[in-house]
Amino acid sequence: MEGNPAVLLPLIVLLPLIGGIINGFFGKRLPKQLVYAIANGSVLSSFFLAVLSFLSLRTATLTNPEAAFRYEAFSWIVAGNYSFDMAFLLDPLSAVMILVVTGVGFLVHLYSTAYMNSDDGVGRYFSYLNLFIFSMLMLVLGKNLAMLFIGWEGVGACSYLLIGFWFKDMDKAIAGQKAFVVNRIGDIGFVVAIFLLLAHGNGSVDYDNLRSLYSDKTHMLANSTEITLICLLLFVGAAGKSAQIPLYVWLPDAMAGPTPVSALIHAATMVTAGVYMVARLNFIFALSPAAMTVVMVVGAVTALVAASIGLVQNDIKKVLAYSTVSQLGFMFIAVGAGAFAAGVFHLFTHAFFKACLFLGAGAVIHALHHEQDIRKMGGLRKKLPIIHLTFLVSCIAIAGIPPLAGFFSKDAILTETLALKPATEALEKYYEAGFEERAVSAVAAATVAAGKPVTELDRAAVDKQAKVFKQDWKQFVEGLAMWRKLAFALGLCAAFMTAFYMFRLYFLTFAGQYRGDHHTFEHAHDAPPQMGVPLQILAVLSVCAGWLGMPFAHGAYNKFDHWLEPVLARGKHFLHGHMETSMEYALMGASTLVAAAGIFLAFSLYKQGPSPTTAGWASSARPVYNALLNKYWVDEAYEVFPVKTLRATSQFLFQLVDRFLVDGVMVRMPGMILLGLSNLGRLVQTGEVQTYLVGVAVGLAALTYYLI
Q: Is the pLDDT of residue 680 over 90?
A: no
Q: Which of the two residues, 419 and 144, has the higher pLDDT score?
A: 144
**pLDDT score of 640 more than 80:** yes
Confidence of residue 558 (pLDDT cuts 50, 70, 90): confident
In sequence order, what are the beta bridge partners of 87?
72
d(CA 388, CA 527): 10
- Phi and psi (nearest 5°) for 382? -85, -25
Query: Would you state the pLDDT for residue 427?
Result: 44
Confidence of residue 539 (pLDDT cuts 50, 70, 90): very high
Note every long-range contact of 219-223, with CB atoms under 8 Å and residues 24 or more positions apart, other chains counting: 219/434, 219/437, 220/287, 221/431, 221/434, 221/435, 221/437, 221/438, 222/434, 222/437, 222/438, 222/441
Q: Per-residue pLDDT averaged across 158-167, rounded?
A: 91
Residue 681 has pLDDT above 90, yes or no: no
pLDDT at 39 over 90: yes
Q: Which pLDDT band holds residue 551 (cuts at 50, 70, 90)?
A: low
Residue 104 reports pLDDT greater than 80: yes
Reported as a single tens digit per residue, the pLDDT across 239-280 is 999 989 999 999 998 888 888 988 888 776 888 999 999 999
Q: What is the pLDDT of residue 450?
A: 66
Answer whether residue 674 shows pLDDT above 70: yes
What share of the chain in percent tops pLDDT 90? 46
Average pLDDT over every residue of 292-315: 94
Is pLDDT above 90 for 492? yes
Q: Which of 485, 501, 490, 342 is nearest to 411 (CA)?
A: 342
Q: What is the pLDDT averaged over residues 676-704?
A: 83
Of 452 and 133, the one with more pLDDT:
133
Burial class (CB in 10 A: 0-12, 13-18, 19+), 52: middle
Share of the chain above pLDDT 70, in %: 90
Residue 86 has phi, psi (to 5 degrees) of -85, 95
Q: What length does the chain have?
A: 708
**Distance separating alpha carbons of residues 417 and 405, to the nearest angstrom:** 19
Q: List, for residues 169-184, the tens digit of each pLDDT value.
A: 888 899 899 989 999 9
pLDDT bin (cut points 50, 70, 90) of residue 189 is very high
Query: What is the model's pLDDT at position 456?
Result: 66
Average pLDDT of the chain, as a whole number: 86
- What are 332-388's pLDDT values in tens digits? 999 998 889 999 999 999 999 999 999 999 999 988 988 899 999 988 998 999 999
What band does 423 get if pLDDT is binned at 50, 70 and 90? very low
| Global model pTM greater than 0.85 | yes
Q: Check pLDDT > 50 for residue 555.
A: no
Q: Which residues are 85's β-sheet partners?
A: 75
The phi, psi pair for 82, rounded to 5°, reads -100, 140
For residue 620, what pLDDT band results from cuts at 50, 70 and 90? confident
Residue range 37-59: mean pLDDT, rounded: 95
Residue 2 is predicted with a pLDDT of: 54
